[in-house]
Amino acid sequence: MSSIATQLLNDIAALRSKVTKALDSDINSGNKDLAAQQRKAAALRKKVTALSARLAKARAAAKSRATDANKAKVAKFREDLAVLKADLKTVNDGKRDINAAIAALRQLQREHKATEKAIAGVQREMQKAAKKKPAAGKRKVAKKAAAAKTEAAPAEKAAGTAASTAKKAPSKTATPVKKSAGSAKKAPAKKKAARAAKPKAAASEA
């Protein structure tokens, strides 16, 4: 695998890690915000419940004794209760928004994990292919070496044949073969016979 491809894979891995951390951080932050909104909503609900009870008592008192003070108390409780209900509605709307944001982040997280899985699979395939196939330069060198070996094969064969022929052929400066002991013994006998035959031939001529 080339250095550029390796660098790109490292950059992709770093970006994947950053995206994962960012999504996790955003989801955790959203959960904290949601918990805070839930606490606010719970506190407001308690206030609304308490003020509703006080308003009910004030109304009962205003019915039994329709005084200006009782009427003013009922009007004040109503106003306070309306404000609390508006606050509670705002908090509940905020909760819904946070829940929607968290759901969107979780969806992004699922998609990111699926993308990560696909990228990891591609990286594994690339690494396997890089291990199986040598680099282009190595392939060229291997091809050249194979071609050179093929070209040198006939010359090597001819050289081997010449060497084997030279081993088999007799040398011109070979030492003469020694005569056997039998032939050496026969030579003096022949000379003696020749010397004995010469006087006989001379006597016959005379």
Residues 6+ apart with CB under 8 A from 102: 27, 30, 31, 34
Task: Please state, for a pLDDT cut of 90, what percent of the chain lies above it.
Answer: 27
> What's the N-to-C CA distance of the chain in angstroms?
117
CA distance 14 to 53: 59
Rounded to two decimals, the pTM is 0.52
Neighbours of 83 (CB within 10 A): 12
Taking each helix axis from N to C terminus, what angle separates 3-64 and 68-132, rounded to the nearest 10 degrees? 170
27-58 tens-digit pLDDT:
999 999 999 999 999 999 999 999 999 989 88
Rounded to 5 degrees, φ, ψ at 74 are -65, -40
